[in-house]
Amino acid sequence: MIRTVVVLFAFAVVLCGLIVFGPFGDDEDVANQDRLGTPLEADVEVTRAAVTPETDIAAIAQAAVSVTEAAAAPQQAVVEAPQRVDVARPNTDNTRLSDMTNNVLAELGFAGVEHVTTNSEVQRESTSQILAGIEAATGQSSILQESETLEAIVIAALRAGESDEAIDQIVNNAAAAGSVAVPEILVTSDGRVDTHVLLNNIVTQAQIAAGGAAPAVPELSPEDVQGLEVRVVQQATTDVQARFYTVQSGDSLGAISIKFFGSTEHFNAIFEANRGLLSSPDRIRIGQRLVIPELDNV
């Protein structure tokens, strides 16, 4: 009884494989069905049938990739070829750049800017409570690592009147040593920390805090911006411009947001529009072709 069921099931699997992939001619179909009469043979066939589709899927997937690559190659020939090898990236935490900037300004004594609690501080606080609990239970004292924060480094550098280049050096050395975590949108396609965006955002937020206007959305044309591509898509009532941007060396998501929208605050719109390409905002690679969304209310 069981054997019959197994045979019928095996037959169904083989048949599905044949319908979906159709790798055999009609003659072989007949041959398969003949051999299904004997269970042993049927098992062998199942194994083969099970392997064949998988191999086919892999082969098809591979073919698809190579086709995509081939199709993509001419466009990217203009810029650099996409880097498949992942670069080393600085540690990130989920602290928001705007929170971090806000705290830098508050620490520098900017009027009207209050310290906000960053995600990193929340983590630290809850961890210290847990350590207190473990300490009470084990009787051993534990140490909560006093790790440097990006805020502290930037504040110290700004107070010391360091140049932009020097700040870039200091921050990147700290990030490369792994002693500091940075907001994800500051990570560039080369795996560095984009201190230009970091400093730009401090200036922008300082201007807004001082009552200045938010930066305007710049007008861009493909002639001025390397990697920008504008396509006109015809719709029923109007023509819509779709913009694409190929990631260049040294770009961070924050930098791309500033480039297209004037400030870092719209990085999430870009990130959401490219979720298929970007697993997280810091996983940006040279040669990736990002969709630049239209902001409705800007």
Given the rule CB under 8 A, which residues bind other proteins? 91, 93-94, 120, 123-124, 126-127, 129-140, 142-145, 147, 181
Nearer to other proteins, 123 or 268 (CB): 123
Helix (H) or strand (E) holding 183: strand 182-183
- Phi then psi for residue 288, to 5 deg, are -70, 140
Nearer to other proteins, 138 or 235 (CB): 138
Nearer to other proteins, 85 or 136 (CB): 136
Token pair listed for 148: 């440097």
Nearer to other proteins, 92 or 248 (CB): 92
Nearer to other proteins, 5 or 88 (CB): 88
Smallest distance from other proteins to CB 191, Å: 18
Helix (H) or strand (E) holding 292: strand 289-292
Smallest distance from other proteins to CB 135, Å: 7
Smallest distance from other proteins to CB 113, Å: 25
Token pair listed for 49: 């049938």
Strand partners, 229: 244
Smallest distance from other proteins to CB 146, Å: 10
**Closest of 209, 103, 115, 206 to residue 152, by C-alpha:** 103
Report how far residue 7's alpha carbon sits from residue 11's, in angstroms, rounded to the nearest whole number. 6
Smallest distance from other proteins to CB 183, Å: 13
Nearer to other proteins, 96 or 243 (CB): 96
Label residues 45-73 b or e (16+ Cβ within 10 Å = b).
Answer: bbeebeebbeeeeeeeeeeeeeeeeeeee
CA-CA-CA-CA torsion sign (151, 157, 158, 162)? negative
Is 136 exposed, middle or buried, given 0-12, 13-18 or 19+ CB atoms closer than 10 A? exposed
